Amino acid sequence: MLELLGSALLNIMQWKYLLPLFLGTLMGVIGGAIPGVTITLTIIILLPFTFGLDPLQGLAAMTGVYVGGSAGGLITASLLGIPGTPSAIATTFDGFPMARAGEPGRAVWLGIWASCFGGLIGGLFLVLVTGPLAAIALQFGPWEYFSLFILALAMVAGLAEGSLTKGLISAGIGLVIAMFGNDPVGGIPRFTFGSDFLGGGFPFLPVLIGIFAFSQIMTDVENLGRSKTARESAQVRGSLRVSQLKVIGEIISRPFLLLWSTIVGIAIGVLPAVGGSAANMLAYDQAKKLSRHPERFGKGTPEGIIASESANNANVGGSLVTIMAFGIPGDAVTAVMLGAMTIHGIQSGPLFVSQNADLAYGIYAAYILAHPLMVLIMAVAAAIMLRISQVKLSILAPIVLVLCVVGAYAVNNTMNGVYVLLIFGVLGYGLVRTGFPLAPLILGLILGEQIELNLIRAIMTDDNPWLFITRPISGGLLLVAVISVALSIWQHMRHTRRTASVEPDF
């Protein structure tokens, strides 16, 4: 196995593979860094260019986009507070406060190295344990998937600062948004009120861009007079120059965090329909719950950045294994890759690795090599990215808003996406202003359809509802979900007691 991987690494270092891999990684970093231009959009743009290449060249370029894009999102997440991609949502929670506190270099490089280490460990881990992971995932039925998604929601709702009720409501709003349009089982129009606009439901990307970008920009605009100094502190005092050894040391000194976040990323990546957006938030939640100082999360702690970024790059490895071993796309990006493989006449599935060993190990090698390439690109481009954060808000805001509008429009090339962007921009700002967390809403939106599909599938297979509890894996996942909610309540109560015991400082 390792011999095959070694020869594949040597093979991919040839210029004919290295160049597409490098260009793909560069495109991914740029696409990931621009809010509104997602990895999916970047890989779709790249797709036509791969048709003229040989299969490994094309798949290497796509793998590069995937790795580069997963890491690229951290730049805007840390420097602007707007995740360039959904897989960098949790990076904003601590990356942006750290950058604002005058350490943008530390925030960005912690993310870059965590992405690299998480991705590399994830790659190695997956090469070694592909078989056992596939065997576990194969045992999952709709009961297990349903319970897993409920667990994910319960965990992320627990991220809510201050109020678990608001976190759960936020998740519920996300689930409700996902209900509009045709129901996923029978295709019956639901809550459309006879409107064509609502007929197709709310497209995910414009909702995501609207909620996150608008709430961030509008809050910044609102606080312009009040928090100008806070905003400028990251710009004026900050530099991206940091001691690389020190940053690497910060990550290496937290081996359990790195390894656990990587495992969370891989596990989420392996499961279909749960992509990097869920992986980074779940890893963040885990890091917060397992931390000795959960109160530091959201205020610029390195743990938050390391957890989020190592998980989202490890998630890429998980998604790649799923597509290679089972032929199931883990997310929209791997769905495009699956399409490209089909165009090249490659049948993905259980026999893929044994029948196309050169190609399979070539993809592994491309995935592993894309990480040092990504670090190299970031080392050159990160300084340029800092300039973005140094631009005045009056210049930055209209440009970002224009990019958001373009991103929403490009989803279907219709104005509907742009209207959705505006509606959810207002909603997102309103929720932030009233203290509702946005992360559970987004996860509810992502998982909504899959939760419903698996619930209905389970009922159609066997109408005994106790199966959700009596099936060991499903029951175990639901138990963990209950424990997660209980832990959140306990943490909240402990925090309230501690706050109450401290004399107010007037």
Partner 1 sequence: MRVSRDGVIGLILAALSLGLLVQSFSLPQLPLTPVGPGFYPRIVLGLLALAGVALFLQNVIANRADTAAVDEVPAETGFWRVPLLFGIVAAYIFLLPVLGYRLATILFVMLVMPAIEWPRSVQAWAAVISISIATSLVSHLVFERYLLVLLPRGSLTGW
The reply on whether position 188 binds partner 1 by CB under 8 A is: yes
Contact 77, 86 (CB under 8 A): no
Site for partner 1 in 61-80 (CB under 8 A): none
Going by C-alpha positions, the residue among 236, 234, 285 that lies closest to residue 257 is 285
Which stretch, 79-87, 371-379, 427-435, 495-503, contacts partner 1 (CB under 8 A)? 427-435
Q: Does 259 bind partner 1 (CB under 8 A)?
A: no
Q: State whether residue 182 is helix, strand or coil.
A: strand
Q: Which of residues 461-490 bind partner 1 (CB under 8 A)?
A: 463
State which of positions 198-217 bind partner 1 (CB under 8 A).
Answer: 214, 217
- 224 touching partner 1, by CB under 8 A: yes
Encoded amino acid at 157, one letter: A
Residue 406 binds to partner 1 (criterion: CB under 8 A): yes
Spatial separation of the C-alpha atoms in residues 429 and 33, rounded to whole Å = 22
Residue number, 248 or 391, with CB nearest to partner 1: 391
Residue 447 and residue 274 in contact, taking contact as beta carbons nearer than 8 Å: yes
Using CA atoms, how far apart are residues 437 and 433, in angstroms rounded to an integer?
Answer: 10
- From its phi and psi, is residue 25 left (phi > 0), alpha (psi between -120 and 50) or beta? alpha
In whole angstroms, the minimum distance from the beta carbon of 190 to partner 1 comes to 5
The reply on whether position 131 binds partner 1 by CB under 8 A is no
Looking at the Cβ atoms of 107 and 169, the one nearer to partner 1 is: 169
Given candidates 222, 252, 464, 498, which one binds partner 1 under the rule CB under 8 A?
A: 222
End-to-end CA distance of the chain: 66
- Alpha-carbon gap, residue 101 to 95, rounded angstroms: 10
By CB under 8 A, the count of residues binding partner 1 is 59
Task: Give min distance, CB of 389 to partner 1, in A.
Answer: 16
Q: Please report how close the Cβ of residue 75 comes to partner 1 at its closest, in angstroms.
A: 18
Kindly tell me which residue out of 9, 459, 480, 487 binds partner 1, with binding defined by CB under 8 A: 459
CB of 48 to partner 1, least distance (A): 8
Residue 207, token pair as written in the block? 């909702």
Interface with partner 1, residue 504, by CB under 8 A? no
As to burial, measured by CB atoms within 10 angstroms (0-12 exposed, 13-18 middle, 19+ buried), residue 100 is buried
CA distance 58 to 472: 42
CB of 446 to partner 1, least distance (A): 15
Q: Does 425 bind partner 1 (CB under 8 A)?
A: yes
Q: Of the candidates 129, 118, 125, 8, which has an alpha carbon nearest to the alpha carbon of residue 374? A: 118
| Nearest approach, Cβ of residue 176 and partner 1 (Å) | 6
Q: Per rule CB under 8 A, is residue 236 in the interface with partner 1? A: no
- Please tell me whether residue 473 adopts helix, strand or coil conformation: helix
5 makes contact with partner 1 (CB under 8 A) = no
Contact characters 9-48, partner 1, x per CB under 8 A: --------------------------------x---x---
Longest dimension (CA), the chain: 72
- Cα–Cα distance list, 132 to 139, 141, 323 (Å): 11, 17, 15
Candidates 236, 402, 479, 486; binder of partner 1 (CB under 8 A) is 402
Query: Is 384 one of the binding residues for partner 1 (CB under 8 A)?
Result: no
Asked if 93 and 81 count as a contact pair (C-beta separation under 8 A), the reply is no
Count other Cβ atoms within 10 Å, centred on residue 505. 4
Positions touching partner 1 (CB under 8 A) are: 41, 45, 163, 165-166, 168-169, 172-173, 175-176, 179, 183, 185-186, 188, 190-191, 214, 217-218, 221-226, 392-395, 397-399, 401-403, 405-406, 409-410, 413, 415, 418-419, 421-422, 425-426, 429, 434-435, 451-452, 455-456, 459-460, 463
